Amino acid sequence: MRVTFIGHAGLYVETAVGSILCDPWFNPAYFASWFPFPTNEDLDIEAIASPDYLYVSHLHQDHFDPEFLAARVSRAATVLLPDFPLGELRRELTDLGFSRFETLPNGVTVDLDGLRVMAATAVGPSDGPFGDSALAVDDGTARLLDQNDARPRDLDAIRRFGPYDAHFLQFSGAIWYPVVYDMAPEAKAEAGRQKRIRGMDRARLFAQEVNAASLFPCAGPPCFLDDGLFGHNDLDADETNPFPDQTVFLDYLAQKGHTNAHLVVPGTVVTLADGECRVVQPAPDDQLMAPFRDKRGYLEAYRARRRPVIDAARSSWPRPGDIDIVEELQRWWGPLLAEGDRLCANVGAAVLLETGDVGVVIDFPARQVRRHDGEHCAYRFRIEPGVMEACIRERCADWVNGLFLSLRFAAGRDGAYNEHIYTFFKCLSEERLRYAESWAAADTMGAAPGAPAAVIRANRRVRDEEEWCQIDGWRMPRRCPHLQGDLTRFGSVEGEVLTCKLHGWQFDLPTGRCLTTGEADAIKADRV
């Protein structure tokens, strides 16, 4: 098996029985905010343009690059399609001209004439853009796991497919907190420090569980080349920056005793054969390490080359005032709020959107969108006008995995994090909203009337005695209340605080209160 790294989360996997192109990303993403780091501008595209199979793990723009797929990838490829409950990914790929699909049910090994593949699929409203997946591949000579930036809750199926010769995984997250938040400098620095270390530690735990012979950090970090965003890059190994690069994570792994990790950059070739791993880099060490040793100089030159692309993107956005924002959002979001019984109740607050000199209040308790009249709102967003008007013009159904990941906004809040607000911003279509409502309704063993069977199966919580566990003197449910992460693998207790390292949520064990959201009785735990 031969794997060519094509940048970010992109892999070109050549096997004994066919080739797979995974998550190719070349064009800037998220309103020209994100670019691959290091750059893959000079990669030989023709060498990867005619794969036997195409795998797109999910609809994040740094994994699904429609412009590249439309212009450069053969439509003869068979798509290895994760089995997501919503058909958005299939529709997008069909619109690009792909017509051959092999659906991969979650956790089920599929034999493609000697090529064994399996997708581990997450399908909750909080999983990527309504779905994320990892891909395991076995051609009889080697096995690899392409985890990219998926966070599978249940690792049992993944482990059964192994043992693995290679594991490609994310270590630097796609996030906007705390970099865009109005916070005291000391609090912001500490939040950034926690994000940085938790992201790397979560990746380490995944690597430990998968236990592959060789480990390859990928799927991050992005780099920010727009002048207004350039300062978000980790230019000086800043311990408070949530976007560490590959060398930082490799050093972190070494400190933790992991000596099987390798640096990959665009053009790196990994050959897996006879239980051995051979890594061939595309350049001598001095050139290979240049993006990391002089990151500021490297990114400044990169920015100069890509400035015309950024300028062209900006010029494509609507001019401020082209759209009546309040009227358009009332027409678009009013019907969604009317249908979102559980979502509106869970948000339970008013949210303010400001852009230019226009303020819009989304009043979830009253289920209405109205012009801001000066009232204070607990949750606040100030968004670049052109970006917001582009989202409205194009009726973008997912602002989380578009506008918010662009970092082209500022935010503030009073009190705890409210995940349900971001669920709403991912559900800006009737199809997505209905799915989120069904998911919330199927949150127990009993089936909610009308809930799709796939939602019930995916979200069912088993409360049998065997689904409890003990961690450091505390007895608690094995599954985290947030997104059902396995606490026997990702839970840690310090004093009386439980942390689920899958997403970083924390709980006060004596009271059961969620320290992340402030929700009371979020978890039941007893001292042993």
Residue limits of CATH 3.30.1050.10 in the chain: 325-428
pLDDT for residue 125 = 80
Tokens matching residue 140: 């009889």
Superfamily of domain 325-428: SCP2 sterol-binding domain (3.30.1050.10)
The conformation of residue 50, written as its DSSP 8-state character, comes to S
Closest C-alpha among 208, 199, 224 to residue 62:
224
Kindly give the pairing relationship between strand 468-471 and strand 474-477: antiparallel
Please, which contacts does 298-303 make with residues 24 or more away whose CB atoms are closer than 8 Å?
298/38, 299/37, 299/223, 299/225, 299/230, 299/233, 299/235, 302/35, 302/39, 302/223, 302/225, 303/225, 303/227, 303/230
Handedness of CA 34, 35, 36, 38 (dihedral sign): negative
pLDDT for residue 444 = 44
Beta-carbon contacts of 318 under 8 Å, excluding residues fewer than 6 positions away, are: 386, 389, 390, 393
pLDDT for residue 445 = 41
Give the Cα-Cα-Cα angle 338, 340, 341 (nearest 5 degrees): 95
Give the Cα-Cα-Cα angle 521, 525, 528 (nearest 5 degrees): 160
Q: Position 206: which residue type?
A: F
- For 465-527, CATH number out of 3.40.50.300, 2.40.30.10, 3.20.20.120, 2.102.10.10 equals 2.102.10.10
Mean pLDDT by 10 residues, the chain (528 residues): 98 96 98 98 97 97 98 98 94 98 97 97 81 96 96 90 97 92 96 95 95 97 96 95 97 95 98 96 96 97 98 94 92 97 95 96 98 96 96 95 96 93 95 90 51 49 61 90 82 92 88 86 87
Superfamily of domain 2-308: Ribonuclease Z/Hydroxyacylglutathione hydrolase-like (3.60.15.10)
pLDDT for residue 489 = 84
* Number of other residues whose CB lies within 10 A of the CB of residue 110: 14
pLDDT for residue 504 = 85
Order of strands, edge to edge, in the sheet holding 526-527? Answer: 468-471, 474-477, 526-527
Cis peptide before 221 (omega within 30 of 0): yes
pLDDT for residue 448 = 42
The DSSP bridge partners found for residue 369 are 362
Tokens matching residue 215: 């480990």
Cβ atoms of 104 and 118 within 8 Å: the answer is yes
Closest C-alpha among 245, 246, 249 to residue 258:
249
Task: Report the C-alpha gap between 185 and 180 in whole angstroms.
Answer: 12
Q: Report residue 488: phi and psi, to 5°.
A: -70, -20
Closest C-alpha among 81, 25, 92 to residue 54:
81
Side-chain-facing half-sphere of 216: CA atoms under 13 Å: 32
Residue limits of CATH 2.102.10.10 in the chain: 465-527
Inter-CA distances, 505 with 41, 100, 195, Å: 38, 40, 11
Beta-carbon contacts of 222 under 8 Å, excluding residues fewer than 6 positions away, are: 8, 29, 33, 34, 35, 36, 37, 62, 174, 243
According to DSSP H, which parts of 442-483 are helical?
A: 453-459
Cβ atoms of 277 and 212 within 8 Å: the answer is no
pLDDT for residue 461 = 42
Cβ atoms of 303 and 225 within 8 Å: the answer is yes
pLDDT for residue 443 = 58
Secondary structure (3-state) at 85? coil
